[in-house]
Structure formats: structure tokens, C-alpha cells
Structure 1
Amino acid sequence: MNNAKRKKILMRLKQNTLKPVTELNYSSHFELLIATVLSAQTTDISVNKITEKLYPVANTASAILELDTDGLQQYIKTIGLWKTKARNIINLCRILVKCYDGSIPNNREALEALPGVGRKTANVVLNIAFHLPTIAVDRHVFRVCNRTNFSIGRNVQEVEQNLLKFVPKKFQIHCHHWFIFHGRYTCLARKPKCFICNIKDLCEFEGKIDISIPHERLDSGSN
């Protein structure tokens, strides 16, 4: 795919959501970090159901430490990997309290040194909390970029590095959200909704699904 086509794709995805925001609920940098750690291999909806009960009780590193591992597990046991996530979050909170006075560090090296925080989570926090032009590559971004030929990579890091080369600076702050939403609601894993895709003519996916929808169905669906 050439850069002219990539720019057109970005412009169209931008039209869908001019100023995208994460679908995780949070009201502080700490809440964003914890929600992102919890969201690994779990939907944002599931995480929001947990944090709406957890955060009124404990939404700082010191408050979560008071819960201890067993107490935290009671709040998060409805999601996958909850035991591991609870241990990581407790250890993460200990480091935040000891080394950062409970605050969230604003650099990649410090973030990735925290238990349970990988490159994707660090990118999310740096991008959303600190407004840095990082590009987080999750399963949706990985799928959309490879499927459309926008950014080919064998793993998430390759896709991220290619995106940083291909995406103009002015688009980098929001582009991972545009790809996430496109993958979450249009370019689905099993049955992509090519018939409603606004980048269909630019996409280089050879297996596009072309479904014609009768006008009467469109009319009836708009009521």
C-alpha cells in the first residue's frame, strides 16, 4: 500500500471519530493504568463493570494495597487471568507508593518496569494520559492493519514500528483508536462488515465480503 492511500484511509477513519476516547471508564491516570492492565484479553465492557464497583472503594495505589490480594480478587474474579492480574496490580501499587509517591510515571521505561505492564499498556497510558504520539497495537489494530495492507507485520511490535513510519505525526495521537473502533465495530475478525465500510475502496483485503442490502431493508431499519 502506498502512502497516499494510507493518508486517505486515515482521513476517512478520522471522519468517523474526530476526537476518539477510550471506552474504558476512568477519572485519573491511576484509574486508567489499572483499567488497562485489567483489560488484557478482556473486553472493555467487562472491565468497566468491575471498576464501577472497585473505584468507589479503592482508586489509589495505597487504597488498593489496603485491600490486599485477596480483597482485590473479590472485585476482579469475573474476568480472565484474575489471579495473575490481582498479584500484578498489588505489586504494581507497592512500586508506585514506594518509588513515585503513588503517581504514574510518564516515561516508557518506568511504566514497562511495573508488573503487568507491557508495551501495549505503556503505549495506552502514554498516549491517553500524557498525550504522547505513541501507537498501541492490540488485536483489533493488528488485524485491521494486516488485513487492509496498511501495515504488515508478523507481530504487534512489527506493526507498531511500521505504523510509526507510515502514519504522519499529526495523526499518531489518535490513529490507534481509529483502528481499534474500525476493528471492533466494522472490520470484525470472522465476518467483516465490508458492506458498511467507509474505506472499502481503499482496503487491499482480497477476501472482501460484498453484501447488497435492499433499499427497503435500509428504510425499515432507520425507523
Structure 2
Amino acid sequence: MIQLSKAFLLFAALCRMASAAGPAPPGNYVLTEIATSGPSFWSPPINTSGQVVGWNFLWIPVSANAPVGSLVPFSGGGLGTAIDDRGQIVGASLGPQGMLPFLWTPDTPNASSGTSVAIPAPPGVSSLNMTMSINSYGQVIGSDDSGLSFFWTPSTPNGTTGTLNPDSRFNGVTRINDFGQVTLNPVPRAGNTPTLFTPTADR
């Protein structure tokens, strides 16, 4: 009886461990062609709802993470380089002064319609070859091939107006997380190792 109880407790513990580890990854997949054209050098970003953004398009699944959806153009057009879980898109679009960074915000979270505003990147930043990232607060970072960068924070969460951080140490930014931590690419910073910036005060 004691041995049986020990075996049961061990089995229960193993079940709890398996549950804590999360569900197993799927073994089968469905392939969906979401666009028939676009730049071959670009890997379309995707958010946790399954929305995909690319060259002048936003693909929205019929339900979260469904393999069926619709392709819609987003106002402002251009190349979407990142999309957050709310459906905000950052990228570069062609304007009078060349390729310029933009922020597209859906009318409601994950909606197919929205508005686009320009992000005032510093002079000299080339948006054509830019790595951009956005977090759930709506902070946007961008960096071109030469390492010239910008770090933009909205005035309100997910707002469409904000301010640029002029700190030159952000040159070479690559990604930003929801805490506001920023990683830097060491390539344009010769002799330096990968760098992590962590905020020490409110955004």
C-alpha cells in the first residue's frame, strides 16, 4: 500500500511537471500562401495573433492563429518591418525625401483599418536598409546598415505622437522588448561586444 502511494505521488508530480512545461509543439502544419509578390530578401514579421505584415500588405487571419485569412493594404503603404501584438506596424515608406520610417496604428486592436504617421528619424538615417522593432508600449527603434539609429517613445501608450531619444549610445539598436530593454548590434561599433541597455526609470 505504501509503495502504491509513493508511485501515485511520483506520477502526480510528473504530471505537474509536464503541465508546467506547456503543451507540446504541433507535429503537423498547414501551409498558407499569404502573398504572391514581394521582395525576396524580406522575411515577413508575425505577431501572436497570427497577423503578418510585408510589402504594402497586412494579412489578418479569420480568427487568432487561423491558417485562413484576408490580405489588405494598410494606409501609407511601404515595407512593414515589425508588428506588435496590438497590430501596430512600423516600417519604411517612400516620401518626398526618400524612404522614411512610419508607424501604422489600427483603429481598434488588430483591426484591418488604421492610420499612418511619419516617425521623425534623425538626418542621415537610411530607412531603405533599416532594422526596426516595436514593443507593446509602442516604443520604436530603428537602425540602418551604417549604425545610425533612432529610439522613439510615444507620449501615451501606443500613441501616434512622441519624442526621439537623442542618446548617441543607441547607435546600432536592433530589438526592443516590452520592458524597454534595447539590444545593440556590435558590427557598426567596431571593437565592442553585443550591448544591452536597460531603463532605470519610467519611460
Say whether the fold is shared (TM-score over 0.5). no
Q: Name which one, 1 or 2, has greater alpha-carbon Rg.
A: 2
Into which bin does the TM-score normalised by the smaller protein fall? under 0.3
Higher relative contact order, structure no. (Cα contacts within 8 Å, ≥ 6 residues apart): 1
Q: Which has the higher strand share?
A: 2
Q: Which has the higher helix share?
A: 1
Task: Give the TM-score taking structure 1 as reference length.
Answer: 0.26
Task: Give the TM-score taking structure 2 as reference length.
Answer: 0.28
